Structure 1
Amino acid sequence: MNHQETKLHLTNSLHRCLQQTPEKIATIFRGRVRRYDEFCARVARLAGALHAAGLAAGERVGVLALNSDRYLETCMAVWWGGGVLNPVNIRWSVPEIVYSLDDCDTGILFIDDQFVPMAAAIRKTAKREPTFIYMGEGETPVGMQSYESLIAGHEPVEDAWRGYEDLAIVMYTGGTTGFPKGVIQSHRNIWSGCIQRIAEAPPVRNGRSLHAAPLFHMAALSRALNQFIAGETHVIIPVFNASEVLETIERERVTEIGLVPTMIQALIDHPEFGKRDVSSVKRLVYGASPIVAAVLERTMAVLPGVEFSQSYGLTEAMVVTTNPPENHGEAGRASGLSLSVGRAAWGTSVKVVDEAGNEVPRGVVGEIVIRGPSVTRGYWNKPQETAGTLRDGWLHTGDGAWMNEAGYLFIVDRMKDMIVSGGENVYSAEVESAIGRHPAVAMCAVIGIPSETWGETVHAIVVPRPGEPVSEGDIREHCRTLIANYKCPKSIEFRTAMPLSGAGKILKRDLRAPYWEGKAKKVN
């Protein structure tokens, strides 16, 4: 047997689709439809173009673009050609982008219309000027190669069949808690994570999954890979936009969608929500950050019959826990299990430990540590950071949580986001959940700010619902009915919007910055 045949390859799903369902629709992007035989042919030709551009086995290829059918073709073409994918964070500035390209020596960069204006600065400042491949919809800019011309002008090549421990991705962390690090994931890591998710919740049969969350993020990309493995159809929009999501669901009869909580809230609050036909949706998967109970309850009320499930994972580990649909029903909400991130996924071990690495009793808050087949080998060229995160065979997540007797995990905060006020530990997620239950609150975030008396005090940033006035006193009085007084915000500010990462997470780092500027440390 050829050794290559025993490996786990991310491209294997395409071979299966080409063999079994070549005429099935693979991708739909704003009216552009491609079948699997067309998709695979384009991938093989694009891989040939990458070889002509100098791609060798294991070399990195970057993608700086919004979601599209071409984004998915590019991912698969990089692996088909034997390369390693570097999906660039679309919210980054030029210096941050250049840092990621330089850090892992990325020689080819796919770029679309949104980011073409950055190309000159990238060229000027990158240590290695990348070969630019323009994947947009307009005329190809001077100095770049045309995506469609490359496909038309190159013969298809055979799959390189790299797999198993061969590197597949260098995916840089979003930088919400520090300087970006390149998380390395092998074909085995990613394939294992996908199969673990499918074992828990197979994609909807003959379904159409909508990709609205950014594909540079592991949660969104892994959902796309699951769809390829299952041989189902991808529906793609460039970025999350509540109006376009609703319109696309109605037009394309979308059956499944994955969103982060901020997106879910924007969707159900949109004035067109009740006017669009979303009856085709059978499943909504959410994750990436905790969801406020009130938002979950409202969403379930306006989407009766939809299957809700949650997953918790990291860039460093695709899947950690899953919370199935049965815990989102009336009984699950009554028991509180709907607010859990679920139990360890099949094949993954999860513990909650203290600072010394000892497992804490059930119900006690500690740090989540994990091990399993989807856990990263570490960070690109950062042995010290790798050693600090991977200790004694366990990945230390930095997430604070407690576990109940049945093994359900309840996340309370990033450990470094925990607020210590007057010697008491306050977990921002608990306070945010209380504030979020106020009917006039659209979105909120809780941070610790410096205090000479208490070390830190609880500070809330609130985005009110349009046309629903609310005061600081209203918020405080509301919180006192739900949580202990020492946990209630001592100060509150109102904003019209929150700073969000490309993955839709609230950037607490940016919220904290003005309060801790000039301080020697960021917590007291």
Structure 2
Amino acid sequence: MYLTQGLHRATQQNPDAAMTVYGERTRTNREVMDRVARLAGALRGLGVAPGDRVAILSLNSDRYHEYLLAMPWADAVLNPVNIRWSAAEIAYSLEDSDSRVLLVDDAFAPLVPALRERFDGLTTVIHCGDGATPDGMTSYEALIAAAEPIADARRGGDALAGIFYTGGTTGFPKGVMLSHTNLMTSALGGVATGYLMAPDAVFLHAAPMFHLADLAGWLGVLIAGGTHVMIPAFDPVAVLNAVQQHRVTSSVLVPVMIQLLADHPRAAEFDLGSVEYLMYGASPISEAVLERAMRLFPRAGFTQAYGQTEAAPIITLLGPEEHRSGRLRSAGKAVPHSEIRIVDADGLDVPAGAVGEVVTRGGHIMLGYWNKPDETAAALRTGWLHTGDGGYLDADGYLHIVDRLKDMIVSGGENVYSAEVENAIAAHPAVAAVAVIGIPDDEWGERVHAVIVCKPGHTVTPAEIRDHTKERIAAYKAPRSVDLVEALPVSGAGKILKRDLREQYWGDKARMVN
């Protein structure tokens, strides 16, 4: 299996069907294949060798779609960069992966000087925006126009397809290595459920295309031979307009996006009856929001996905029927390609209903973490991926997530590792000690919350902490709320007892995740 397989099939069977729609541009399967082959040829001409990592820092567009296909066509490796990261985080990921070629659009071209300053190995920057190509960069369209198409390398199977960076438990991002088999297995398993899209899908990319949740949808549509409609970024009116204009049938969103659509004052102005499938993930959806969303999208079946980047990403799905039968607090059942168990600290199965760690295995499980053998060994044990999530299986095989064994917060669909935030906050001169936890939030699911002890004679405001943090890491990781305390609860060994801190905010809830 290989990522470009769907492109070959679509071009053979429906060469003149629309493959991408972005703004006023519509390109057919045949046109996309030609452009992908030429972009791959251009990369070879720039010195990209088999296995080299090539990064992209861009909002959603049809060119992003071409990048995702041209890298394996050229026998190269994908590195989609998180657009919400700070320059320091981006530069770290480029240096860590040794990505010496970067595609960048108009929105992020101004960051390039700072990236080059931090990583002098960045030798080639390709401008893939619609504006004028800045000095020191190469024009994407000029490269394609001048290049000769090359044959598809058909990089596939267990070969590395991409490095997908997540937050790091030690304060630094870590690159998840996914093979073609990993990505294709997850996409095929998701499509096989029938929950995600029809064969003639018109799929809206409103969630960021760097994110593996959207990429899973992208690959599913590619396999099915559908059409990809892109808007640069999520905006409620832009989504509503795109659905109406292009008769969108499916999309992947996070619950906060669905809530913003359902509650938008102009939502009733648009015809949204074409939508048949809506998948969401990162957190469950409340019954109240689901009811409003079902009224807004009257024909749509809603599916919740539970997964991780390390699982490429789908592990379980909760389908449309379960959404109508009172199982909203469940994360669904294992998808066809995924085997799941609940285990204790010794790796032994626990009885149904008992809480333990969720582990999974199958063809979707990552190759490992890039250049991090110790973390790889900790996550992959005896063939199973240890998710770090606490949960249980009920008598009917539905998975319920109740806690996170790893120190991670999911806020608005983004993973935030507490260590990253704590390291940034601890650098403030007034901070003596800090603990970062996730607490319930009606809009974001979970909110990043900091509990801080100040040094004697010092004080600090929540606004100062936020500003200080955003100078060092991505803004979405900065704490949305701050408590100043005299002391943090610690164990006899001096370890901060975060569960004690969290219990103050989660109260008598049955689960400490949203």
If the TM-score is normalised by the length of the shorter chain, which range does it land in?
Answer: 0.7 to 0.9
Aligned to 2:217: 223
Residue 307 of structure 1: aligned partner: 301
Q: CA deviation at 1:325?
A: 1.4
| Structure 1 range deviating more: 172-181 or 60-69 | 172-181
Shift of residue 261 of structure 1? 0.7
> Within 2, Cα distance between the matches of 1:76 and 1:13?
10
2:255 aligned with 1:254:
no
Q: Which residue of 2 aligns with 1:147?
A: 140
Q: Does 1:171 find its partner at 2:164?
A: yes
Measured in 2, the distance between the counterparts of 1:214 and 1:178 equals 23
Give aligned pairs, total.
448
- Checking the alignment, whether the CA contact within 8 Å between 1:51 and 1:81 is kept in structure 2 is yes
The TM-score with structure 1 as length reference comes to 0.80
Which residue in 1 is equivalent to 2:366? 376
1:290-301 alignment, distance < 5 Å: 290-301=284-295
State the alpha-carbon separation in 2 of the partners of residues 506 and 417 from structure 1.
19
* Residues 297-339 of structure 1: per-residue CA shift (max 9 Å, x gap): 332243333111121111000210111211122xx12xxx233
How do 1:509-520 residues align onto structure 2 when only pairs under 5 Å count?
Answer: 510-511=479-480
- 1:88-107 alignment to 2 at 5 Å? 88-107=81-100
2:118 aligns to what? 125
CA contact (8 A) 1:176 1:508 kept: no
Measured after TM superposition, the shift of residue 104 of structure 1 is 1.0
Does 2:394 match 1:404? yes
Amino acid at match of 2:315: V
Residue 293 of structure 1 deviates from its aligned partner by 3.1
* 5+ residue gaps, structure 2: 410-436, 454-461, 489-493, 499-514
| TM-superposition CA deviations, 1:353-381 (whole Å, max 9, x none) | 22222222222222211111010011000
Distance of 1:14 and 1:44 partners within structure 2: 11
Q: List per-residue Cα deviations over 1:242-282 (Å, max 9, x = no partner).
A: 11001111111111111011111111111111111111111
Please state whether the residue corresponding to 1:138 is helix, strand or coil: coil
The residue that corresponds to 2:205 in the other structure is 211
Match of 1:182 in 2: 175
What is the identity, as a one-letter code, of the residue corresponding to 2:318? N
Match of 2:320?
325
Return the offset for 1:522.
5.4
Q: Which moved more, 1:131-140 or 1:191-200?
A: 191-200
- Structure 2 vs 1, CA of residues 213 and 522 (structure 1 numbering), >3 Å: closer, same or farther? farther
Secondary structure of 1:169's counterpart equals: strand
Structure 1 residues 15, 451: closer, same or farther in 2, change over 3 A?
Answer: closer
CA contact (8 A) 1:58 1:84 kept: yes
RMSD: 2.8
Distance 1:232 1:173 in 2: 29
1:136 positional shift: 0.4
Task: Find out whether 1:116 has 2:109 as its counterpart.
Answer: yes
- Residue of 43, 54, 67 corresponding to 1:61: 54
- Distance apart, 1:444 and its partner CA: 5.3
Change (3 A) 1:451 1:30: closer
- Give how far 1:26 is off: 0.2
Choose which of 208, 218, 234 in structure 1 pairs with 2:228.
234
1:393 deviation in Å?
1.4
Counterpart AA for 2:283: S
Once the two structures are TM-superposed, the CA of residue 449 in structure 1 deviates from its matched residue by 6.9
Q: In structure 2, give the amino acid aligned to 1:79.
A: P
1:187 Cα offset (Å):
0.9
Cα 1:169–1:512 shift into 2, 3 Å: farther
Relative to structure 1, is the Cα distance of residues 129 and 447 closer, same or farther in structure 2, using a 3 angstrom cutoff? closer
Q: 2:274 maps to which residue?
A: 280
Letter in 1 for 2:105: D
Distance 1:186 1:339, change over 3 A: same
Gaps of 5+ in 1: 1-7, 420-427, 437-441, 453-492
Structure 1 position 391 matched with structure 2 position 392: no
Task: Output the amino acid matched with 1:353.
Answer: V
**Residues 388-410 of structure 1, C-alpha deviation per residue, up to 9 Å, x if partnerless?**
11112111111122210111011
Pair 1:228–1:126, CA change in 2 (3 A) = same
Question: Taking structure 1 as reference, are residues 300 and 515 closer, same or farther at Cα in structure 2, changes over 3 Å only?
Answer: farther
TM-score (norm. length: structure 2) = 0.81
